[in-house]
Amino acid sequence: MLHTDISTAITDLLFTPGLDLEVAVDRHFAPDYRQRTDGRWDDRQEFLAHIAHLRQVVAGGSVQVHDELVDGDRYAHRHTVNATKNDGATVRMEVYLFGEFAPDGRFRRIEETTLMLEGTADDRNLGSAR
């Protein structure tokens, strides 16, 4: 089965200037998508609001993949997001996630926890900020 991956999704969502938010989300996330980040559940609309907020805060960055496993419709991934904010500050977060693919290869569900490696106390909730 062909499927998306989280590093490509994050790059499209946050680090590809000019790519429409709806286009980026539709490319990687199924209509019934839900996400839990650090214990907080969001539906697709709440996820869109989160990404729209990040697009206003983040100027650029990259994703460093550490581990990635796929087994049928199940997905596990560990990565570090390196982001530069519009004010020039940097944030590094390590992310551990488990996911499920929809039949079309887009994400149906992601459950993740984040570990801030670099940033300020205000950046701690960047993974779920709106």
The β-bridge relationship of strands 107-118 and 29-37 is parallel
26-79 pLDDT per residue, tens: 999 999 999 999 999 999 999 999 999 999 999 999 999 999 999 999 999 999
72-112 pLDDT per residue, tens: 999 999 999 999 999 999 999 999 999 999 999 999 999 99
**What's the whole-model pTM score?**
0.90
Could you give the C-alpha distances from 8 to 12, 71, 81, in angstroms and in order?
A: 6, 18, 12
